[in-house]
A and B are shown apart, each in its own frame.
Chain A
């Protein structure tokens, strides 16, 4: 079995309209893949900043994977939420990044989006907060059903990941 180590951090969020954001992440892998050690999902702390617009999480990621094939190369799926002053969490963005297939250090920008509602939804959101979210999150991974959605751009989640690969050469896999 070839092995992959993903070691790094979620640095933080940029360009979101508000502070006090947190992020839920989840590792998405194919059937051939197995998590040997490490957490495959998690949630960061709520982060804010007084002097800059950047919210940093410095959230560590450390995953050890084994695979019998390169199909279903891991992806990280994130949901960014905003925690408002009443303690309510509102969706601020969905995003997906593919883990690079080359070893070494990578800085990855995850550009996030969220669904937009109609005019009425927007008026409600303006006064009451909240917003639209997806009922079935598998829509985020599927490339077939996306066409039914209308979305808007949100901020960027920045990842810094170090990849270590092992034994891929033994199976004749070039990367």
Chain B
């Protein structure tokens, strides 16, 4: 919708660590993917990635990923601002999904993303959950697009901390005002 001109958005940062119920002997890993609107394009960096497997040696250890993310976007319109969707796994079973918008204002941002995992919707699934069955979303991106969001039940479980540095180029020139960067 913006007449002429694009702007660039550069995101550099890390998925730092997860705060979950971590018992000794468990191992965690994360997947991330970006989800952005129709006018957005990734011009550098990876759209999706997967972290290393972080093992927990002592009970309640911090699950450190320190996974670097470096991605550049191009767009003509802030609508569809990129979101990061995270799926965290404990071993092979799902531990939780999280999503957040990338920060808008330039600068350094600490983000805390709440994790949630879906609950079984059928009686069989409910019984199965006593034996370790954990339902997963076929497309975790649905959390970002909010398609079918109203049909699921989720349970909160911990959070993920991330740190992002945001640099934008050409945003103010297009007449946008994103407020003071405090």
Contacts and interface: CB of A to CB of B under 8 A. Distances in A.
Interface of A: 3, 5, 7-9, 11-12, 20, 22, 36-39, 42-50, 52, 54-56, 58-60, 62, 64, 83, 102-105, 162-170
Given A103-B177, A162-B101, A44 B113 contact: no
Given A47-B154, A60-B144, A164-B177, A9 B78 contact: no
Nearest to A63: B79
Interface residues of B, number: 38
Interface in B111-126: 113-114, 116, 119
Given A103-B179, A167-B175, A44 B156 contact: no
A45 B98 CA distance: 13
Interface string B37-68: 10000000000000000000000000000000
A77 to B, nearest CB: 17
Nearest to B149: A45
Interface string B122-150: 00000000000000000000011010011
B153 A64 contact: no
B174 to A, nearest CB: 7
Contacts of B26: none
A43 B143 CA distance: 12
Contacts of A52: 156
A12 B149 contact: no
A169 B174 CA distance: 13
Contacts of B105: 104-105, 162
Contacts of B79: 5, 36-38, 62, 64
Contact of B149 (A8, A42, A102, A170): A42
Contacts of B98: 58
Given A39-B146, A55-B156, 6 more contacts: A7-B81, A47-B116, A54-B156, A58-B98, A162-B101, A166-B175
13 contacts: A7-B101, A37-B77, A56-B114, A58-B114, A59-B149, A60-B146, A62-B81, A103-B178, A103-B179, A104-B179, A105-B104, A164-B177, A166-B175
Contacts of A20: 153
B90 to A, nearest CB: 15
Given A37-B79, A56-B114, A64-B79, A47 B156 contact: yes
